[in-house]
Amino acid sequence: MTARIELPAPLTEAEIASVRREYRAASLLPKRAYHDPAIFDWERAHVVRKDWVLVGREEDAPQPGTYTLVELDGESLIVVRGQDRELRAFFNVCRHRGTAVAEEACGKVVRFQCPYHAWIYDLEGHLVRAKHTEDLEDFSFERFGLATVRLETWQGFVFVNLDREAEPLADQLGDLVDHWSRFDFRSLRSAKRVEYDVAANWKFVAENYSECYHCPGVHPQLNKLTPYDLGGDFDPHGGWQGGWMELVDAAETMSLDGGHGSKAGRPSMAGITELDERRIYYYVLWPTTFLSIHPDYLLVHRLVPQGPDRTLIVCDWLFEAETIATPGFDPSDAVAFWDLTNRQDWHVCELQQRGTRSSSWVAGRYTDAEASVHAFDQMVVDRYSGASSWSQRVVRERYDVPPPKPGASDEGGDGVATGGPAPGARTGARTKAAATR
């Protein structure tokens, strides 16, 4: 990966260094990282427009000619499936005088016809009709197709990158791809979407998702199903971080049914192992996505930063398509649980946004239950400092894990019950430890 910085870093070297210290000595990001419009603009230019951003699911455009419009940093993009069944992304901008070519948020078309002077583009973005252009100089239909945007998919998710020079998505995902190799989430479908408008910086929301230090007080319902101090973290290699929390014996998943956490008859997703049945996995996918794997559903949070102090959060509950098609399928227990939990989180994030505005506030400290917040912030300062790769974050060191007994073999059960341990997975399953969210 090439060095990516062109503008001065938004923080001083000393501020970046203080985040990069080992967590016991480190300080949080300084106040202006969450409040300064100039830093927000820097993040738009250097993160949102340079990194791969998850924008949707492949099923949003399932058949040739189906398309969906996606907004990214003020850009309207068309994600469309071509006649060859390939998914592509284009700027929604006519090459004539710049009119938005597609108006509806989604649909099915045989071609795109600009509503202004009727230039026509095929599903692969080629210009195929433009009247009165025959005698133009230095003009050809080949050169005046819709401008393309890079698009890649993984596990049914659609990612786009506005930077033509960006490295492939795989470089950003790092070893998360191997880590998830037992899953195939392409057949999942959204059964419910809820959007939240949250008056907090996107990084406060990501930090909140990364720890469960706040759970006993903020989420009494969640804490009953997955006690905040039962879980562990993975050592990430790439633009992600994650860990798991363990379900109490009486619980099968996260749902609001009187605290029993029953899956309401829903089967587990494909690839879920016996070990996975007892866990909820939480992943922050740099920069703006959270993926929470439950035995029977995948919860997706997509953050859309609107300003330094405002974030739109799109939350989807994904289930196996077959499960959704089952008569009597009802996701409302899972939806109600996470809607409640989400609102509890947004409330404290908004209070934090308000509190940290004060002239009295200076960057705080990480407790030993917040090393995964530290891990997220290190990704932030990796970007702020223009580093050419992700810094190594050894989150497990924060735990007081007893050293293996001499001669004892590694349990190797973390995260992957088949096919050996996940890369970087923490050893010592069921170790009581500070949790991840």
Q: Quick one: which of 57, 99, 117, 51 has its CA closest to 81?
A: 57
Residue in 83, 40, 94 with CA at minimum distance from that of residue 61? 83
Judged by beta carbon distances under 5 to 8 A according to partner kind, the member of ligand FES, Fe ion, none in contact with residue 321 is none
Contacting residues for 136 by C-beta, under 8 A, at least 6 apart: none
Could you tell me the two tokens for 53? 């951003």
Residues 89 and 103: their CA atoms lie apart, in Å, by 15
For ligand FES, how many residues bind (rule: CB under 6 A)? Answer: 9
Least distance from Fe ion to the Cβ atom of residue 344, Å: 6
> Quick one: which segment of 82-90, 109-117, 260-268, 353-361 binds ligand FES (CB under 6 A)?
109-117
Q: How far is it, in rounded angstroms, from Cα 323 to Cα 328?
A: 10
- Picked from ligand FES, Fe ion, none, the partner binding residue 133 (CB below 5 to 8 A depending on kind) is none
Least distance in angstroms from the C-beta of 342 to Fe ion = 8
Residue number with CB closer to ligand FES (105 or 118) = 118
C-alpha 432: how far from chain center: 27
Tell me if 430 sits within 8 A of 423, measured CB to CB: no
- CB nearer to ligand FES: pick between 116 and 168: 116
Q: How far is the CB of 285 from Fe ion (least distance, A)?
A: 17
Q: Which of the listed partners (Fe ion, ligand FES, none) does 202 bind, with a CB threshold of 5 to 8 Å by partner kind? A: none
CA–CA gap between residue 402 and residue 427 (Å, rounded): 10
Separation of alpha carbons 314 and 221, rounded Å: 22
Binding track over 115-144 against ligand FES, x by CB under 6 A: -xxxx-------------------------
Burial class (CB in 10 A: 0-12, 13-18, 19+), 171: middle
Quick one: 117 or 347, whose CB is closer to ligand FES? 117
- Looking at the DSSP bridge assignments, the partners of residue 210 are none
- Does position 370 interact with Fe ion (CB under 5 A)? The reply is no
Alpha-carbon distance 14 to 417, whole Å? 43
For the window 21-60, what string marks contact with Fe ion as x by the rule CB under 5 A?
A: ----------------------------------------
Judged by CB under 6 A, the stretch of 92-100, 161-169, 254-262, 304-312 that binds ligand FES is: 92-100
Q: Which range in 114-122, 285-293, 327-335, 424-432 contacts ligand FES by CB under 6 A?
A: 114-122
Q: Is the dihedral of CA 252, 416, 374, 354 positive or negative?
A: negative
Residue 146 binds ligand FES, judged by CB under 6 A: no
CA dist., res. 121 & res. 119, Å (int): 7
Helix (H, G, I), strand (E, B) or coil at 249: coil
Shortest distance (Å) from residue 162 CB to ligand FES = 22
Angle value at C-alpha 78, between 72 and 82, nearest 5 degrees = 145
Buried-exposed string 316-326: b where 16+ CB fall within 10 A, e elsewhere: bbbbbeebeee
Q: How far apart are CA 366 and CA 370, in angstroms?
A: 6
- Scanning 49-57, 77-85, 341-349, 427-435 for contacts with Fe ion by CB under 5 A, the matching segment is 341-349
Segment contacting ligand FES (CB under 6 A): 12-20, 113-121, 136-144, 394-402? Answer: 113-121
Q: Of residues 345, 370, 377, 414, which one binds Fe ion by CB under 5 A?
A: 345
In the complex, least distance from residue 129 CB atom to ligand FES, rounded to whole angstroms? 10
Residue with smaller CB distance to ligand FES, 94 or 422: 94
User: Which parts of this chain interact with Fe ion (CB under 5 A)?
Assistant: 345
Residue numbers of the site for ligand FES (CB under 6 A)? 94, 96-97, 99, 114, 116-119
